[in-house]
A and B are shown apart, each in its own frame.
Chain A
Amino acid sequence: QQQVKQSPQSLIVQKGGISIINCAYENTAFDYFPWYQQFPGKGPALLIAIRPDVSEKKEGRFTISFNKSAKQFSLHIMDSQPGDSATYFCAARGDKIIFGKGTRLHILP
């Protein structure tokens, strides 16, 4: 119940394309859903986050779509760029933050 399931494990997208990463959760007590971006050798950095009372949040090229009834949320990266190549973690917070297993995204130049 405390798990956050993330897919795919890895993703290759052409420059300019849309990258989509999906996550699902079970615990309805989760009340905050952040996405983290991690570059090699660095710590995770908060990218964008959403609360369950909102179905979508957009910040620049990054959009979170949230489906409360399905207990799913996804990250969309529009106009993907090589600099977006990184590992992305979805997460959910109850009494602590639970991370998904990560998606290694590679944007082809």
Chain B
Amino acid sequence: EPEVTQTPSHQVTQMGQEVILRCVPISNHLYFYWYRQILGQKVEFLVSFYNNEISEKSEIFDDQFSVERPDGSNFTLKIRSTKLEDSAMYFCASSPFGQELEEQYFGPGTRLTVT
């Protein structure tokens, strides 16, 4: 069964450094998402991406964040200058049709630790 993959599984970085989290969505999916989950808390929407542009973003997704689909398979989340409070699990998800078909398939996540 096709699945969303994410790399790395764990990233440790120093405050102020840039990080790039990588995702490979399911190949025939059209909509891509990033979520984060601070340890023990709820999953929070960050951004959705369709047709090479951001379709929705939350208030968390400020100028420090950016997303890109650099080629036909990867979907990346960049955090320009990490803060301690960016430490969280970051989940990528993809779905076939977005609003028309809501099922989102989540990857296993990247644990980001900012020291």
Contacts and interface: CB of A to CB of B under 8 A. Distances in A.
A101 B38 CA distance: 11
B106 A93 contact: no
Nearest to B109: A43
A44 B91 contact: yes
A58 B52 CA distance: 37
Given A34-B102, A93-B102, A95-B56, A41 B108 contact: yes
B43 A89 contact: yes
A107 B42 CA distance: 21
B45 interface: yes
B42 A89 contact: yes
A43 B106 CA distance: 6
Contacts of B56: 95-96
B48 interface: yes
A97 B104 contact: yes
Give the contact-size bracket for chain B: 10 to 19
A96 B48 contact: yes
B45 A98 contact: yes
A12 B43 CA distance: 22
Give the contact-size bracket for chain A: 20 to 34
Given A99-B44, A101-B41, A44 B102 contact: no
A102 B103 contact: no
Given A96-B48, A96-B58, A49 B42 contact: no
A47 B105 CA distance: 11
A49 B48 contact: no
B102 A49 contact: yes
Contacts of B104: 46, 97
Nearest to A46: B103
B107 interface: yes
Interface of A: 32, 34, 36, 41-46, 49, 89, 93, 95-102
Given A96-B45, A98-B45, 13 more contacts: A32-B102, A36-B106, A42-B109, A43-B91, A45-B106, A46-B104, A89-B42, A96-B56, A96-B58, A97-B104, A99-B42, A100-B42, A102-B41
